[in-house]
Amino acid sequence: MEHIYHMPQFGENWFTYPNLYRYFVQELSDGSKIVEVGSWKGKSVAFLGVEIVNSGKKIAVDAVDTWAGSSSEEYHQNDVYVKTNTLYQLFLSNISSLSHIITPVRMPSLDAAKLYEDESLDVVFIDAGHTYEDVKADIAAWLPKVKKSGWLAGHDYPWSHNDEVKKAVDELVSPIDQSEGCWIYRKP
């Protein structure tokens, strides 16, 4: 299957981590489960979904988002799809060819984390709220959900706008790897 994430309907080019997502698909086996927290118009999760299709592996992905934009980010709140409450419809339309792999979970991150058993997820990737408080709360909520030898990772480490993501990550998880603007923690 050809990649679709670069098509114009996927909007902003915030997805900087194709090699990391490719690596996760290479490492995981049939029956694995990935959660992406923060999916916006679907660009990053569409890349992941196509990589999974092309791997032939049975890997499931849940995309967690309110599809209301980050409350602290003016850019999100000014987006026409957020303003007209149609971001979720755009996401569903964008990932329609991958709906057998990607399941949307439309709720706040911290509520969504409660849906999963502890140590049940192979990968959780966090790209939701980017304040210190948001990142700290997300790590605290999702880390217990990751299996031993699984990965907890996230975007914008460090983030050009501020160092809040870095501060929260550095306080809660170590040692981390860094790649493609991401922090990556492998649970012992």
Ligand X SMILES: C[S@@+](CC[C@H](N)C(=O)[O-])C[C@H]1O[C@@H](n2cnc3c(N)ncnc32)[C@H](O)[C@@H]1O
Contact footprint for ligand X (CB under 6 A): 14-15, 38-40, 43-44, 64-70, 108-109, 127-129
- Shortest separation between residue 113's beta carbon and ligand X, angstroms: 10
In the complex with ligand X, the residue whose CB is nearer, 149 or 162, is: 162
Specify whether the CB–CB gap between 34 and 61 falls below 8 A: yes
In the complex with ligand X, the residue whose CB is nearer, 142 or 185, is: 142
Specify whether the CB–CB gap between 80 and 28 falls below 8 A: no
State whether residue 29 is helix, strand or coil.
Answer: coil
In the complex with ligand X, the residue whose CB is nearer, 71 or 149, is: 71
- Shortest separation between residue 33's beta carbon and ligand X, angstroms: 18
| Cβ neighbours of residue 111 closer than 8 Å, sequence gap 6 or more | none
- Shortest separation between residue 40's beta carbon and ligand X, angstroms: 4
Which amino acid would we find at residue 75? Y
Which amino acid would we find at residue 99? S
